[in-house]
């Protein structure tokens, strides 16, 4: 184990049974998150980001999923082999030691209960607080994420909150038990630019205040640049590049990473045509020969189309999977 590691994923593979056949959603990935670190996982929709995140909490349908590899969570006093835990032990970890912010806050919350009651329920379940203590703590949490006045908002229902406030309420619920690891799946999706900035600032503030480790799932490399320390770029179920954010922005080595960075809208260039990546990601229910990105890559060679590239070092802790030396 690397010093201060909170989570370590080793050779994770995730196959799903579907009407289209077997979907190879995650194809042999390795990832490590350290204490106080924000690790971004970036890529287009369907590349395996969310399935990777959900596997950490075993939220996939285990009757229709084949999961291989190892996920180790390092708690304060011991380590746990996530994929081999019995479900009662897994329930103790979910929400308390590892928490998750899901993509759509409106479907995460129960419309029949007030927002405050739902936060209180989490506190009473995991921390065994009294009803009044849970309510007081829930009001404090709402205030801490900028939802004020907390006593009034506690009694309101999800439909009475704006999109940005709902996302903040979900964050309040997710951090209510002071988890060591917070997973945020597309935390800024469907928010306007102002609200996006506020949510990202809130996540940074939480990290500074609590040294909480985070995994940020996003398709937006701009979000990665704003808040992450390290990043893993995923394509077709595999990590194709990983390393420090500053190093990868300065020296991207995989063509897919270069194309994602090039597609970020730039301030002052509003009249220029946005850069897009031609083509589409491959179907994951089919065998992929060679590099999965080769059909879309302007640098692709015969070797790329025939041989699967392995991760190799560009610099220490900067790895990329490409046959070309760009």
* Tens digits of residue pLDDT in 128-165: 999 999 999 999 999 999 999 999 999 999 999 998 89
CA 121/CA 255 separation, integer angstroms: 47
CA 303/CA 183 separation, integer angstroms: 37
Residue 2: band (very low, low, confident or very high) from pLDDT cuts 50, 70, 90: low
CA 204/CA 226 separation, integer angstroms: 9
Where is mean pLDDT largest: 19-23, 29-33, 63-67, 271-275?
29-33
Looking at every residue in the chain, the average pLDDT score rounds to 93
CA 240/CA 306 separation, integer angstroms: 17
pTM of the full structure: 0.93
Q: Which residues pair with 32 in a beta bridge?
A: 8
* Residue recorded with tokens 């995989």: 254
CA 144/CA 133 separation, integer angstroms: 16
User: All domains of the chain, ordered by start, with CATH?
Assistant: 5-97+181-267+275-282 (3.40.50.300), 108-176 (no CATH)
* 163-174 vs 115-127: helix crossing angle, rounded to 10: 10
* Residues, the chain: 326
pLDDT at 52 over 90: yes
Per cent of the chain over pLDDT 90 is: 80
* Residue recorded with tokens 């042999």: 28
Cβ atoms of 164 and 191 closer than 8 Å: yes
Question: For position 275, what pLDDT does the model report?
Answer: 80
Using CB atoms within 10 Å of the CB of residue 30, give its burial: 0 to 12 exposed, 13 to 18 middle, 19+ buried: middle
pLDDT at 268 over 70: no
- Nearest to 64, CA basis, from 25, 103, 104: 25
């Amino acid at each position: 184990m690397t010093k201060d590691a909170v989570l370590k994923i080793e050779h994770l593979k995730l196959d799903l049974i579907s009407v289209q056949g077997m979907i190879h959603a995650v194809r042999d990935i390795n990832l490590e998150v350290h204490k106080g670190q924000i690790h971004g996982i970036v890529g287009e929709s369907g590349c395996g980001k969310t399935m990777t995140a959900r596997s950490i909490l075993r939220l996939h349908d285990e009757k229709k999923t084949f999961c291989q590899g190892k996920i180790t969570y390092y708690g304060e006093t011991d380590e746990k082999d996530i994929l081999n835990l019995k479900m009662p032990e897994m329930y103790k970890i979910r929400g308390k030691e590892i928490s998750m912010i899901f993509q759509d806050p409106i479907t995460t919350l129960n419309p029949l209960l007030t927002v405050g009651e739902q936060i209180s329920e989490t506190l009473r379940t995991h921390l065994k607080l009294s009803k009044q203590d849970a309510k007081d703590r829930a009001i404090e949490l709402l205030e801490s994420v900028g939802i004020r006045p907390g006593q009034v908002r506690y009694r309101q229902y999800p439909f009475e909150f704006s999109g940005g406030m709902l996302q903040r309420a979900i964050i309040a619920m997710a951090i209510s038990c002071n988890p060591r690891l917070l997973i945020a799946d597309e935390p800024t999706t469907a928010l306007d630019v102002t609200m996006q900035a506020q949510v990202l600032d809130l996540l940074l503030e939480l990290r500074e205040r609590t040294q909480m480790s985070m995994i940020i799932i996003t398709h937006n490399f701009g979000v990665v640049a704003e808040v992450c320390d390290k990043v893993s770029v995923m394509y077709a179920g595999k990590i194709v590049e990983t390393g420090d954010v500053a190093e990868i922005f300065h020296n991207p080595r995989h063509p897919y990473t270069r194309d994602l960075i090039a597609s970020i809208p730039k301030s002052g260039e509003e009249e220029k045509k946005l850069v897009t990546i031609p083509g589409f990601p491959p179907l994951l229910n089919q065998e992929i020969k060679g590099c999965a990105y080769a059909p879309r890559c302007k640098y692709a060679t015969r070797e790329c189309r025939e041989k699967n590239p392995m991760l190799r070092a560009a610099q220490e802790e900067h790895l990329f999977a490409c046959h070309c030396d760009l």
